[in-house]
Amino acid sequence: MSKRTVELSVATPGTDAQGNPLRVPIPASPADVDPELGGEHLLINLGPQHPATHGVLRLVVELEGETVVRVIPHVGYLHSGFEKLGEYRHYNQIVPLTDRTDYLAPMSNNVGVVLAAEKLMGIEITPRCQVLRVIACEMSRIISHMVWLGTTSIDLGAFTPFLWAFQQRERIYNLQEMWTGARLTTSLTRVGGLMADVPDKFVTDLRHFTETYPDTLDEIDRVLTRNGVWVGRTQNIGVLTAEEAINYSLSGPMLRASGVPWDLRKDKPYLGYETYDFDVPVGEHGDVYDRYLVRLEECYQSNKILKQALDRLPQGPINVDDPRVILPPKSHAMNDMEAMIYHFKQVMEGVKAPVGEAYAGIENPKGELGNYFVSDGTAKPVRWRIRPPAFINLASISKMAEGHLLSDLIAINASVDIVMGEVDR
Amino acid sequence: MKHLQTVDGSDSWLTTKAQSLFEWVIKTTRLDKAVNLSRANSLWPMPFGTACCAIEFMATAASRFDLARFGMERQAFSPRQSDVLICAGRLPFKLAPVIRRIYDQMPQPKWVISMGACASTGGIFDNYAMVQGIDTVVPVDVYVPGCPPRPEGLLYGILMLHKKIKGEDLFDSSLRDEHLLNDKGLRLDPETIDEISEPFGNSVHQFRSA
Amino acid sequence: MNPSANALQATFGNAIGRVVDARGETIVYVAPAKVRDVLAWLKNTAGQDYNYLVDVTAVEYRDRERPLEVVWNLRSLSSRQDLRIKVELDPRGELVVPSVVDLWAGANWLEREVYDMFGVTFTGHPDLRRILMWETYAEGYPLRKDFPLRGRYSRSEQVRQALNVNPEGHYSMEELAIADAYDELPRDMRDRLARGERDKIPNSE
């Protein structure tokens, strides 16, 4: 049997100057340590069916005692062939598919895909449609962050914020149902407009929501932000510096928590975001705690944007006035020959896009959601590529978790805010 | 039942009483009822949540719709301690061996609820990556349609399962049969799987690329 | 038009093919042999600073005569400029391009996905294996145009193949730290790994 010197040490929550976890050696005399002890790494498997992996994610973790030496995520357990399906669907038929990718923020996905299609076809939407899409995006941001908050607190041991967060989600679900008819799979947008206009009750109910929602956020803030357990479990965990975050192509709150002040709504504005008054929270340390603070503050800011959007909601049509792109109203289609022909062509053949390609990125709650369409002149795209923020953010988990404890790995995994529908598409 | 007979060949008072007690307890299904009631009213779900339906399942478990009133708030994340596997969400082929293994790990009596269109038939995903209904992989008791089903819909499905359980015969061992994979490595015949996975409906447009 | 396109043409001359400027986006076609130099130049040169890789993907057209394109979407955060670099490959030939994982770490999983969906090999990638489908997936590369929507095999065959995959079987060389511990592995495991049988778990003795 070969002799091996074994140094036993345990990781502590503190960090040294380089940001590595401080390890404290365990003093032991060579006589009483079995040479086999401490030499073997344990390989454990978390998932794909696991309560803390936020979906069907599989983490293969190499452990030295309780410390993570390496973690390798396996994805693809929810791969549904979206991009292949998109090549067999008209542009408007792709919109229901996008509900199912990031199912926590469906309206935001719907907006993202039609922005790319409209860029490809060169369509300018109406002012009312712009403001309504901003409302849709910010509502989606709120519900996505509420799921994130609820599930992260469950992972770290606090059950009650989950119930509070989901109660707020129910209020937004009521609004989504009022607008689109569906709680979750909204299919809100169409190329050139929206599926339907908001009913009057929607505006009053949403205004009431924006007035009472910050109270729940304050409650959650009071319970978590200065809570010893919460802070102890999230500070200095999963640190990524700004350079690393940029190199790993992170986006959204993951990028901003590491100190990079990049937000597509401010830096590459779309849907008139440059005209709204809101702040973008940027973190400092790039740890789990900063990501929590960034997301919590984003909820407050989304509320602020919703109030402004409701105030400035203009009257007017929601759909562009182009019968080749938008279905004419049934009354016209049944009475006017030309409208009937337009209706027929759109339903049977779809709207043909010009040859070319277009990429449109939006600030999804998870990060930069990009839709890339390549068209060959037909009504179905040649290639539909979804640039998935959660997929790219998740790849950094192997970097973030090295040297941390197994329970920290759960916190880090929660902080990435993944939704497997988007990771795997 | 062995009859004690009196001297003149008729049944003794004791045996007739014992026989009618036996009949009263078991054959009028009082024991059945008690067991089925306790099974149905505290089904511990194994939430095999994959996609959007899992979010609606979570919403059903949350305060507004509340699964706790049906005794289901204790969600078993270990299949060894669960009663009903609720497959909430779509099942790609990569996940098929996983659900099969989870199903095999569950002890009898067990039931399966297929929640949503994707779990029941493959849903909108009729492509290379998606299992066209989990009943090709595990046996299903209740199918809940919807995309996603509303929480009320899921609750209706759960109540339907309750009804099914309450109608079960306690001594019917065929209900508790393990449906293992056959020698072809499948649960059903290949012809049956192909038949139930076929697309239906008139539209061929959905398979034409431009 | 993104000024980087002119700078590229000035620096790399013939290696730069056509430049397309449409819908506010700049697309530069680059010769496959020089694409690695072009991408490194774009990242490392002061004044270009394309430090953010937005996306790596591939496009295959329905017209069989058109080439298969591999697309890199780059972004310079400081100047807020986006640039798209494309390389054209013969769809019927070998699909090989260099990997950029050492330039942008985010390319790791993105390149694995392009390999999985299109069969494009990225030379220099540390761990090029399938990511969305399982590693022993035998039907082909799903996003190619000659791959039918519902897959090549019948549904029962697809179910059978899926169920036969051992859910625990997918460990890569990296995960098992083979390189570190090779000498200490049992003989039969070393033989198996040498034969490339990574997904078979042997019966316990």
Closest by CA position to B139, among listed B166, B176, B89: B176
Return the residue of B nearest to C133 by Cα.
B94
Distance of residue A166 Cα from the nearest chain B Cα, in angstroms: 7
> Is residue B48's pLDDT more than 70?
yes
Query: In chain B, how many domains are there?
Result: 1
Asked if the Cβ–Cβ distance from A184 to B52 is below 8 Å, we say yes
Do residues A172 and A27 both lie within one domain?
no
Distance of alpha carbon A307 from alpha carbon A252, whole angstroms = 22
Residues A52 and A133 grouped into a single domain: no
The minimum CA-CA distance between A291 and chain C, rounded to whole Å, is: 19
Residue B143 β-bridge partners: B114
Structure tokens at C20: 């397309």
Residues in chain C closer than 8 A to A241 (CB atoms): none
Residue A23 lies in a domain: yes
A367 C-beta neighbours (distance < 10 Å), count:
27
User: Nearest-CA residue of chain C relative to A361?
Assistant: C54
Nearest to B193 among C148, C156, C161 (CB): C156
Residue A1 lies in a domain: no
Mean pLDDT value across residues B133-153: 92
pLDDT, one tens digit per residue, over A343-399 is 998 888 889 999 999 999 999 999 999 999 999 999 999 999 999 999 999 999 988
Tens digits of per-residue pLDDT, C124-147?
A: 988 888 899 988 888 889 999 999
Q: Which of A29, A44, A74 is the last residue of a domain?
A: A74
Of A372, A382, A399, the CB nearest to C61: A382
- C3-145: what fold? Beta Polymerase; domain 2 (3.30.460)
Cβ contacts of C27 on chain A, cutoff 8 Å? 357
The answer to whether C5 and C63 are in contact (CB under 8 A) is no
> Do A144 and A38 share a structural domain?
no
Is residue A3 one of the residues assigned to a domain? no
* Inter-chain CB proximity B130 and A170 less than 8 Å: no
Residues A328 and A205 in one domain: yes
Q: Would you state the structure tokens that stand for residue A340, as one six-digit string?
A: 């009937």
Does the pTM of the predicted model rise above 0.80?
yes
- Of A204, A135, A372, A170, which is closest to residue B60 (Cα–Cα)? A170
Residue A270: both structure tokens together = 């779309």
Is B5 contained in some domain? no
| pLDDT per position as a tens digit, C25-63 | 999 999 999 999 999 999 998 888 899 999 999 999 998
Q: Cα distance from B100 to chain C (closest Cα, Å)?
A: 8
Within 308-347 of A, beta carbons closer than 8 Å to C belong to: none
For residue C194, give the 3-state DSSP assignment: helix
DSSP conformation letters of chain B: -PPPB-TTSSBPHHHHHHHHHHIIIIITTHHHHHHHHHHHHT--EEEEE-SHHHHHHHHHHSTTT-GGGGT--S--SSGGG-SEEEEES--BGGGHHHHHHHHHHSPSS-EEEEESHHHHH-TT--STTB-S-GGGTS--SEEE-SSSPPHHHHHHHHHHHHHHHHT--TT-GGGG------TTSSSS-HHHHHHHHS--SS--GGG---
At C163, list the tokens: 């169920």
Which of residues A74, A108, A128 is at a domain's end? A74
Among A36-40, B85-89, B156-160, C45-49, the range scoring the smallest mean pLDDT is: A36-40
Write down which residue in A17, A42, A74 finishes a domain. A74
CA distance A134 to chain B (A): 23
pLDDT 10s digits, A234-288: 999 989 999 999 999 999 999 999 999 999 999 999 999 999 999 999 999 999 9
Mean pLDDT in residue range A36-61: 79
What domain range is B76 assigned to? Answer: 42-196
CATH (domain of B56) = 3.40.50.12280
Asked if residue A4 belongs to a domain, the reply is no
Residue of B nearest to C155 (CA): B194
Is C150–B128 a contact, with Cβ atoms under 8 angstroms apart?
Answer: yes
A contacts of B207 (beta carbons < 8 Å): 88
Task: List the domain range (segments joined by +) for residue A402.
Answer: 82-424
Tell me what pLDDT residue C186 has.
Answer: 61
| Beta-sheet pairing, C81-89 with C25-30 | parallel
Longest Cα–Cα distance of chain B, Å, equals 92
What DSSP state is assigned to residue A75? Answer: -
Q: Structural domain tally of chain A?
A: 2
What beta strand segments (E) does chain C contain?
Answer: 16-22, 25-30, 52-59, 68-76, 81-89, 96-98, 121-123
